[in-house]
Structures are given as C-alpha cells and as structure tokens.
Amino acid sequence: MRTLDDLDVKGRRVLVRADLNVPLDGETITDDGRIRASVPTITSLVERGAKVVVCAHLGRPKGQVKPEFSLRPVARRLGELLGQDVAFASDVVGDAARATVDTLQDGQVALLENLRYEPGEESKDEAERRAFAERLAGLADLYVGDGFGAVHRKHASVYDVPRLLPHAAGGLVEAEVAVLRRLTEDTERPYVVVLGGAKVSDKLGVIANLLTKVDRLLIGGGMAYTFLKAQGHEVGNSLLQEDQIDQVRGFLDEAGRRGVELVLPVDVLAATGFAADAAYDVVDATAIPADREGLDIGPKTRELFATKLADAKTVFWNGPMGVFEFDAFSGGTRAVAEALIRSDAFTVVGGGDSAAAVRRLGLPEDGFSHISTGGGASLEYLEGKTLPGLAALED
C-alpha cells in the first residue's frame, strides 16, 4: 500500500475516510478514542499544507437524515483535539459540502455530515454506490483511507472512492495492518487468544481459523455458556445459542486434535437477573442454578486465565469477560486486562467493546502494545478474509 509519504498534498484537497463512529449521549461524546486515533493522520496532512476533507459515518441511520446521528458534535471535538476550527458541512455531497470545501485554505480541515445519510454509501447496487462515490470523489483531488474500523465493509467511501482518486493508506490503517501481520505471520509463541463477548455466532470464522494458529484459546463472556452447554453442563438462564452447540462441539474436538489448549471458565458470577444491582453467587461453571444467569467469570477463572497468559509472547484479546458496563460484573474483564498489562508479551486489544472496556475501567492505554480501532475488521482479518477497504488501497 502507498502511504502518506507517497502523496504530494500541498495545496490539494485530500479526502480522508476516518472512523469517527463514537458513542453519544445526546450531543455528549462518551468515548472519544476513535477521534483521537484519527488525529495523527489529519495533523500530518495539515502540517504539509493539504486542504483536508474528512468523511465518516456514525451509527446506522440507514440512508435517512436523523439528527441523533449527526457528526456535528464530532466536528467540535475534532477541532479541540487539532487545536483549530473544523468547518462542518451540513450535508455529504450537496451544496453545503461543496461550499464548505471550496472555502478551505491550505492547512484547514472540514468534516462532512454522516456518510450513512446517503443511501448510496451502503447500497448493494453497484451502480447506485458508484454514483454516490463519484460525487464524493468530486470533492477532492486525493484520497487517504484511515478508517480501519470500516475497511471490512464494501461501502462507497471505503471501496469505490479510492478507485476513482490517487490514494494511500493513512497512518492509522498502516499501523493496524502492521499489527495484524504480526499476529498472522511469524508470530512469537506461545500465542494466546482471549475471546469474549455475547455471541459465539459472531466469531465462528475466527475461531475456526485461530484453531490452526494458536497455542491456547481462552473463552469467556456470554459465548462461554454455549461452550459449557456443548460439554453437557447446566447453564441456567445464561446467554445461550442452542443452534451453535453442534458447531461448538466441533471446535472442542478440533482443539483436541490439534493440541490447542481451549480454556473455559471454572466458576462464574450467577445472578438472579440481568441488572446492575442483581444479587449473585459465585458458583461452579459446571453447575449454574436453573434460575440464575452468568454475568461474569468468577475469581478462580480470573486467576486461571491470568496464569494461562503469564508465559505468552503474543496475545490477542477481543470481547469482555462479563457485563463490564455493570460495576459488579466488570471484575473479570478487568482481571484479563490487568494480566495483559503485567505481561511482557506483544499484547493487542481487538477494538470494539474490549477497547471501550479499557477506557471505561480507567486502565492505562499505554499498558498494551496496541489497541485496535476496529473490532470487526480485526476479526475478519484474523479469519483470513479479504477486506474490501484494504484491497482498494492496495490497487
């Protein structure tokens, strides 16, 4: 892939596809991690005299203009982080966007309104998507792909626009790809992967692929209960995907055949219901009461997982160990994160809820080797899939 150094940007309009999909409470940004991650690439272009036009999506407005998904609050925060005003266009490719871009001077920055207000951005119709891409590309002379969290989507701003303009990867995408290559090529061993989150169905492909590559696989979070059920244990009211039990049995058998150590919880916090103040007991993971649901891994499992991480040389972690949004059920996620911080391994936090948990729990981000901005993109890369946004940048 070409990089920023390969582009002559001075005095030219550079369209930067960033990932600014941050959580909002009204107009208050509750986690600005993705905005902060976009700043170095934008700053580099500003310092080199580019006219920077940033585009991004927020939420899922599904081709409709919905005020609650406006990027206006993001423009304000981006301006604070850049130390300069960021002009905001109230549409994506209309008159406001054109007027905003036309007023930019060298070294100035504008942000377009939410890409997903336009049906063409996510359209499965190639012609509709291409038509929107042509209008978007018409706002710029060059393209920089820096929205790693969206590179697994075949969307106009990610896939089609770089085919219409001279293009390069931004610093964020370049760094993310370098980390993922380290996880898939000549990986230092022992290689341990920790997977959590709600649904095993979200991670079928990556589990299948990782079983051919890792030394140890630790399973927590809601997905662990389908594994426990596949072993024949009672899981009570815990999150369970009955339709995945046969698939999971296959994973257990495959791990055994390949000599991969697959580690499941040995105890859990079994709560009376799904609530922050729910009463709970610590119970054996193989004997969850029928009227209880597991909301976090227990203290013995936290110690077990920490032990299994202690000798690792490479660790990838994706997915919380419990309902970390509830303080009472955040201890398992914290324990895994702190084990990674203590580790001398190359440690990668795979974006999404894992990255959000690190920040919510107040853990030092520099305690990890890398925190990804794209959970879904990271998983699909590790699954061995071709990511459309990366393929377009490599052309």
Q: Which two tokens stand for residue 15?
A: 């369209």
**Would you call 181 a catalytic residue per the annotation?**
no
Residue 21 is assigned to a ligand binding site = yes
Nearest to 321 by CA among 298, 291, 346: 298
Selecting among 197, 352, 374, 375, the annotated active-site residue is 352
Selecting among 34, 154, 229, 308, the annotated active-site residue is 34
Residue 20 is assigned to a ligand binding site = yes
Selecting among 130, 199, 360, 385, the annotated active-site residue is 199
Q: Which amino acid is at 283?
A: V
Exposure of 199 by Cβ count < 10 A (0-12 exposed, 13-18 middle, 19+ buried)?
Answer: middle
Q: Which DSSP helix (H) or strand (E) runs through 294?
A: strand 293-297
**CA dist., res. 243 & res. 249, Å (int):** 12
Helices and strands per DSSP (H, E), number in the chain: 14, 17
Residue 153 is assigned to a ligand binding site = yes
Instruction: Answer for the pair 276, 297: CB distance below 8 angstroms, yes or no.
Output: no
Question: What angle, rounded to 10 degrees, do the helices at 375-383 and 352-360 form?
Answer: 140
Q: Which two tokens stand for residue 158?
A: 């990610």
Residue 352 is assigned to a ligand binding site = yes
- Residue 52's SS3 state is strand
**CA dist., res. 129 & res. 364, Å (int):** 41
**Would you call 10 a catalytic residue per the annotation?**
no
Selecting among 147, 170, 220, 376, the annotated active-site residue is 376
Q: Which two tokens stand for residue 173?
A: 């995408």
Residue 353 is assigned to a ligand binding site = yes
Residue 294 is assigned to a ligand binding site = yes
Residue 334 is assigned to a ligand binding site = no
**Would you call 374 a catalytic residue per the annotation?**
no
Nearest to 56 by CA among 374, 355, 318, 301: 374
What pairs with residue 145 in β-bridges? Answer: 17, 169
**Would you call 34 a catalytic residue per the annotation?**
yes
Residue 354 is assigned to a ligand binding site = yes
Exposure of 328 by Cβ count < 10 A (0-12 exposed, 13-18 middle, 19+ buried)?
Answer: middle
Residue 82 is assigned to a ligand binding site = no
Binding residues for ATP: 203, 294, 325, 351-354
Binding residues for (2R)-3-phosphoglycerate: 34, 116, 153
Binding residues for substrate: 19-21, 34, 57-60, 116, 153
Catalytic residue annotation: 34, 199, 352, 376
Binding residues: 19-21, 34, 57-60, 116, 153, 203, 294, 325, 351-354
